[in-house]
């Protein structure tokens, strides 16, 4: 169970990494939708609305999973780039599953579980910024 949340955390961390120069890419647009839904889910107490936000985030991630992050695109061709791309897709798949868990938690009116998932995603966002964002020079 912990490994599933770790993978989801890594995937979520990638969600919040949008290079400024890539704001208009298809991936960046889906990440923006995800980020907006995430922000709404953090505060939502209405189960129906929360489930809708979770579904919206899932839909965005289904579209994002076929994209390639800018950091991966910039890698030289070879096994490392292939591995990074595969790991991205794996983490995105795990994130989609986590968002489905969140949608189910909202639908089951289990706001304590929703809060747990939101807190895990919040930590994942921080870890993602620390690990995947280029530092401003």
The total domain count for the chain is 1
pLDDT at 28 over 60: yes
In a domain, 67, yes or no: yes
CATH number at residue 77: 1.20.120.10
Residue with tokens 């995947």: 132
Residues 95, 71: Cα–Cα separation, whole Å: 19
Domain that includes residue 28, residue range: 2-132
Residues 37, 102: Cα–Cα separation, whole Å: 12
In a domain, 56, yes or no: yes
Query: Could you tell me which residue, 103 or 123, shows the higher pLDDT?
Result: 103
By CB neighbour count within 10 A (0-12 exposed, 13-18 middle, 19+ buried), where does 88 fall?
buried
In a domain, 137, yes or no: no
pLDDT band at 133 (very low <50, low <70, confident <90, very high): very low
Both structure tokens of 56: 């919206």
pLDDT in tens, 35-82: 999 999 888 999 999 999 999 999 999 999 998 888 888 889 999 999
Helical (H) or strand (E) element with 43:
helix 26-43
Both structure tokens of 11: 């995937």
């Amino acid at each position: 169970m912990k490994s599933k949340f770790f993978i989801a955390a890594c995937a979520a961390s990638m969600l919040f990494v949008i290079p400024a120069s890539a704001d208009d890419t298809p991936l960046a647009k889906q990440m923006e939708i995800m980020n907006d839904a995430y922000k709404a889910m953090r505060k939502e107490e209405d189960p129906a609305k929360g489930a809708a936000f979770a579904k919206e985030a899932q839909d965005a991630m289904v579209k994002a999973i076929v994209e390639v992050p800018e950091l991966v695109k910039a890698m030289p061709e070879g096994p490392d780039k292939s591995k990074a791309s595969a790991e991205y897709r794996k983490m995105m798949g795990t994130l989609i599953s986590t968002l489905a868990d969140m949608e189910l938690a909202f639908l089951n009116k289990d706001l304590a579980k929703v809060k747990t998932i939101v807190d895990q995603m919040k930590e994942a966002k921080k870890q993602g910024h620390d690990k995947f964002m280029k530092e401003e020079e």
